[in-house]
Amino acid sequence: MNSAVIVFPGSNCDRDLAVAIAQVTGRAPAMVWHGDTELPAGTGLIALPGGFSYGDYLRCGAISARSPIIRAVVDAAARGVPVLGVCNGFQILTEAGLLPGALMRNAGLNFVCRDVRLTVENAQSAFTSRYGAGEEIVIPVAHHDGNYAADDATLDRLEGDGRIAFRYAEPVNGSARGIAGILNAEGNVLGMMPHPERKVEAAHGGTDGRRLFEGLLETVGA
């Protein structure tokens, strides 16, 4: 599987994400600069990493979502290429309009950096097929702006259509309906605040994140 990790000025989890993808797929992803306008031919997975792109100026993810490469990401998503956005990557996906809603300052105003328990709500997506529905997993978060907000109609639609992939199983940031990660309507775009790439090998203190990448590999194919 050929994959690409998009690197923005201020990304700081791009290499972690690349290592996780390389470990699971056996191939190092292309590191694509945000100022590029094209993805490498045959890219089968696009990942947007965590970090503080553009210093979170204006709103987190706002400036990055207008980067030249985003047009290529939007086009690829429309063709069905899986797109994974983690943390700042999730914020960028909402700002780019690939996912609904917005991520606001944590309700407690604190930066939250710790392992959290998540419930897998949808275990049938391209990203979550290696998990069991309702399974509880542990993945770390590290964010200041992870408080998911959307209007009630949008939240009802996300729930009704099974587009909530992960929910917090404990209080974390005030997120609406405990949302930790959501899918787009077609199921090929996932945004999540927790960092699956930080739980892929035993030395990380757990491997619950690894199955997300394994599921993707299975879906996309080698």
Partner 1 sequence: MKARIFVTLKPGVLDPQGKAIHHALAGLGFAGVNDVRAGKLIELDLADGTSDADIEAMCTKLLANTVIENFRIERQP
Report d(CA 131, CA 71) in Å as an integer.
Answer: 31
Residue 181: CB minimum distance to partner 1, A? 18
The answer to the question of residue 117 lying near partner 1 (CB under 8 A) is no
The answer to the question of residue 177 lying near partner 1 (CB under 8 A) is no
- DSSP-derived letter for residue 110 is S
Site string for partner 1, 57-86 (x = CB under 8 A): -xx--x---x--------------------
Q: Alpha-carbon Rg of the chain, whole angstroms?
A: 15
Residue with smaller CB distance to partner 1, 55 or 108: 108
Q: Between β-strands 3-7 and 45-48, what pairing exists: parallel, antiparallel or unpaired?
A: parallel
Q: Provide the token pair at 211.
A: 């199955």
Q: Provide the token pair at 104.
A: 């606001």
Report d(CA 165, CA 16) in Å as an integer.
Answer: 22
Q: What share of residues in the chain are helix, strand, coil (percent, to 5)?
A: 30, 25, 45
Amino acid at 27: R
User: Which of 3, 67, 94, 119 touches partner 1 (CB under 8 A)?
Assistant: 94
Site residue total, partner 1 (CB under 8 A): 19
User: Which of 16, 95, 197, 208 touches partner 1 (CB under 8 A)?
Assistant: 95
Which three-class secondary structure state does DSSP give residue 210? Answer: helix
- Concerning whether 113 is annotated as a catalytic residue, the answer is no
Residue with smaller CB distance to partner 1, 9 or 206: 9
User: Which of 11, 25, 106, 122 touches partner 1 (CB under 8 A)?
Assistant: 106
User: Which of 40, 55, 80, 108 touches partner 1 (CB under 8 A)?
Assistant: 108
CB 113, CB 141: distance < 8 Å:
yes
Residue with smaller CB distance to partner 1, 45 or 60: 60
Indicate which residues carry an active-site annotation.
87, 195, 197
Q: Where do contacts with partner 1 occur on this chain (CB under 8 A)?
A: 58-59, 62, 66, 94-95, 100-102, 104-109, 147, 149-150, 174
